[in-house]
């Protein structure tokens, strides 16, 4: 017996091979696209129907990113949200090449016209103005329209003596709009300054990620600064910082828990408890307002 001899193989013609492929395809289960998602924290593959309206990983409780409509559904009293400036769209102030196509792609992906949704709502019956940034729209970058919509929301809150809550998520200023994007930092901050001078409440809710010019301006100006667990919060990226100071960064650097420990965040609140926490803050603020008006 020749143990090391060359084996003889027989070939299958194309027709027979295609027939076997079709039989194999019939035996294999058909899984529709979009039914599964991957958690970037624990790397588990999750059946989408296991994810509740709070967008939490059922395996490790990581907080997935939410759209403004999803955030409104779990935060505001049902049917109470009234949107501001829904038709406001960006232009191309710097004539940046192909900027219009980038914006159009972001609009189709996110279902909104710009990177923030603003409006008035009730939370546990308490009136408030709310602004929700969307990481699905050009990573929540702050351009002229984002700055204008947030500024108008703050000015409305000031005029009507209402608190304002801003859910932040951003990769920073929008480079396609250059200096005009950077000017929004000052514009929103000035509007918030007048809101503060009127003795009104501003609550920031930092979500993952909140970075760049948004962190350097209105994200850190809240009277009360809340954060979701493990949210990335910072200005420059970790690689830039490490390359500048030439030192190893502490474990958990720029995460919400690190920022809480160092005094940049007042409280970390789980998403399922955020609505109740905001309601409690608004109730306490409402009592203070009533006492001051006596």
Residue 7 lies in a domain: no
Q: Is residue 80 part of a domain?
A: yes
Q: What is the rounded distance in angstroms from the CA atom of residue 100 to the CA atom of residue 111?
A: 16
Are residue 241 and residue 121 in the same domain, yes or no? yes
CA pair distance 39, 61, nearest whole angstrom: 10
Q: Is the pLDDT of residue 1 over 60?
A: no
User: What value does the mean pLDDT take over residues 234-252?
Assistant: 90
Angstrom distance (rounded) from CA 258 to CA 265: 9
Which of 41, 64, 87 terminates a domain? The answer is 64
Q: Which of 22, 38, 64 is the last residue of a domain?
A: 64
What the block records as the tokens of 270 is 């789980």
Q: What is the mean pLDDT of residues 186-195?
A: 98
d(CA 262, CA 267) in angstroms, rounded, equals 12
Cα gap 282→165, rounded to integer Å: 10
Structural domain contains residue 6: no
Q: Tell me the pTM.
A: 0.85
Residue 173 tokens, joined: 């200023």
Same domain? For 136 and 275 the reply is yes
Q: Which domain holds residue 163?
A: 65-293
Number of independent structural domains in the chain = 2
Q: Within this chain, do residues 79 and 179 fall inside the same structural domain, yes or no? A: yes
What is the structure's pLDDT at 29? 47
The encoded tokens of residue 22 equal 């079709």
Q: Alpha-carbon distance 227 to 214, whole Å?
A: 14
The answer to whether 217 and 239 have CB atoms below 8 angstroms apart is no
Asked whether residue 14 carries a pLDDT value surpassing 80, the answer given is no
Contact 228, 205 (CB under 8 A): yes
Edge-to-edge strand list for the sheet holding 116-123 = 82-84, 116-123, 126-133, 164-170, 202-210, 224-227, 267-268
Residue 1 belongs to some domain of the structure = no
**Is there a single domain that holds both residue 49 and residue 91?**
no
**pLDDT value of position 61:** 92
Same domain as 71, residue 123: yes
In a domain, 184, yes or no: yes
Same domain, 74 and 53: no
Q: Which residue has the higher pLDDT, 11 or 123?
A: 123
189 & 85 share domain? yes
Provide the 3-class DSSP secondary structure of residue 279: helix
Residue 5 inside a domain? The answer is no
**Domain-located, residue 8:** no
Is the pLDDT at 288 greater than 80, yes or no? no
Confidence bin at 165 (pLDDT 50/70/90)? very high
Same domain, 57 and 88: no
Query: Does residue 60 sit in the same domain as residue 83?
Result: no
My answer on whether 176 and 142 are in the same domain is: yes
Tokens of 97: 């090449």
Same domain, 138 and 127: yes
At 40, the pLDDT band (50, 70, 90 cuts) reads: confident
Question: pLDDT digit string (tens) for 128-148?
Answer: 999 999 999 999 999 999 999
Q: pLDDT tier at 9 (50, 70, 90 boundaries)?
A: very low
Mean pLDDT of the chain: 89
pLDDT (average), residues 12-34: 54
Q: Identify whether 25 is part of a domain.
A: yes
Instruction: Give the Cα separation of 31 and 127 in Å (integer).
Output: 45
List the CATH number of the domain containing 127. Answer: 3.90.226.10
pLDDT over 70 percentage in the chain: 86
Cα 30 from chain centroid (whole Å): 33
Same domain, residue pair 135 and 206: yes
């Amino acid at each position: 017996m020749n143990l090391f001899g060359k084996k003889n193989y027989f070939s299958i013609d194309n027709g027979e091979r295609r027939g076997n492929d079709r039989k194999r395809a019939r035996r294999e289960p058909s899984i529709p696209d979009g039914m599964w998602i991957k958690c970037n924290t624990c790397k588990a593959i999750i059946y989408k129907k296991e994810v509740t309206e709070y967008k939490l990983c059922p395996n490790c409780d990581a907080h997935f990113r939410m759209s403004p409509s999803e955030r409104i559904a779990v935060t505001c009293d049902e049917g109470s949200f009234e949107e501001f400036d829904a038709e406001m769209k960006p232009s191309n102030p710097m004539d940046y090449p192909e900027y219009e196509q980038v914006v159009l792609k972001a609009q189709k992906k996110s279902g909104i016209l710009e990177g923030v949704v603003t409006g008035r709502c009730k939370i546990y019956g308490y009136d408030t103005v709310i602004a929700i940034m969307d990481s699905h729209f050009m990573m929540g970058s702050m351009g002229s329209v984002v700055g204008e919509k947030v500024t108008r929301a703050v000015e409305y809150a000031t005029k009507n003596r209402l608190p304002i809550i801003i859910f932040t998520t951003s990769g920073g200023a929008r480079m396609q709009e250059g200096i005009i994007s950077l000017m929004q930092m000052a514009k929103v901050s000035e509007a918030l300054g007048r809101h503060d001078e009127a003795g009104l409440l501003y609550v920031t809710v930092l979500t993952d990620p909140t970075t760049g010019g948004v962190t350097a301006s209105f994200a850190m100006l809240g009277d009360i600064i809340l954060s979701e667990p493990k949210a990335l919060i910072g200005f420059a990226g970790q690689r830039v910082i490490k390359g500048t100071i030439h030192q190893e960064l502490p474990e958990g650097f720029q995460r919400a828990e690190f920022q809480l420990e160092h005094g940049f965040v007042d409280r970390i609140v789980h998403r399922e408890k955020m609505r109740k926490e905001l309601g409690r803050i608004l109730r306490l603020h409402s009592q203070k307002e009533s006492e001051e008006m006596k």
